[in-house]
Amino acid sequence: DIQMTQSPSSLSASVGDRVTITCRASQSISRYVNWYQQKPGKAPKLLVYAASSLQSGVPSRFSGSGSGTDFTLTISNLQPEDFATYYCQQSFNTPWTFGQGTKVEIK
Amino acid sequence: EVQLVQSGAEVKKPGESLKISCTASGYSFPTYWIAWVRQMPGKGLEWMGIISPADSDTKYSPSFQGQVTISADKSISTAYLQWSGLQASDTAMYYCARLRDVVVVVSASSGAFDVWGQGTTVTVSS
């Protein structure tokens, strides 16, 4: 199975900050990475697919980049509603696997 | 509105069987693959498997192969996840999710899930 390692596991940030979350794959996966946001007690929400394509309806302050083994999700101008846990997911090979999550907390 | 509505919370004893459901509305159910994702208490997301409602072609994660059965009934726009003998370790939240892309084979897709059910909590305890 392809392992997805996110860093950091958690971070504290303030409203208005720029936040970057990294995801590293255990092998090259081209651009087969998707990013999700999950709030407590809620289902995950798709933010970015195919490494850098913004899902319809997602604010433009979210962006994704990367290819091969290293990927990033960036949130510019962090908003109060962005405090949540973020997951990357690889879809290069089944079984599709997720990173362990990055919790973004309020500083 | 495109949505997936899951069946309600379940409390079961070890060894019991269970079938939970995910009913789609607002789109053509046979057109999009449906996946199941597990989230154990306080933990991350795990992809269990995926089914094409059009022809019931199913792919399982090796971690879940033989442990669960994924099925679908396109006549009632519903996908299912079932267990024949629950264990305490099956205690988790289970989500169904729609594959974003319209594809015949999942390997041709982005693998992204754009619509999610609200989740079904399964508790297994003696």
CB pairs under 8 A between A and B: 69
Give pLDDT, residue B104. Answer: 87
Asked if the C-beta of A83 comes within 8 angstroms of chain B's C-beta atoms, the answer is no
Q: What is the residue-averaged pLDDT of chain B? A: 97
A95 touches chain B (CB under 8 A): yes
Cβ partners under 8 Å of residue B68, min gap 6:
B36, B48, B49, B60, B81, B82, B83
pLDDT tens for chain A, 107 residues long, are 999 999 999 999 999 999 999 999 999 999 999 999 999 999 999 999 999 999 999 999 999 999 999 999 999 999 999 999 999 999 999 999 999 999 999 88
What is the rounded CA–CA span in Å between residue A14 and residue A18?
9
- Chain A nearest-CA distance from B58, in A, is 12
pLDDT of residue B92: 98
Query: Does residue B74 sit at the A interface (CB-CB below 8 Å)?
Result: no
Q: What percent of chain B clears pLDDT 70, i.e. is strictly above it?
A: 100
Whether residue B108 is predicted with pLDDT greater than 90 in this model: the reply is no
Please judge whether A34 and B111 are an interchain contact, meaning their C-beta atoms are less than 8 angstroms apart. Answer: yes
Contact B92, B38 (CB under 8 A): yes
Assess A46–B contact: CB distance below 8 Å, yes or no: yes
Amino acid identity at A100: Q
Q: Which residues contact B81 (CB under 8 A, 6 or more apart)?
A: B19, B20, B22, B36, B48, B68, B69, B70, B94, B96
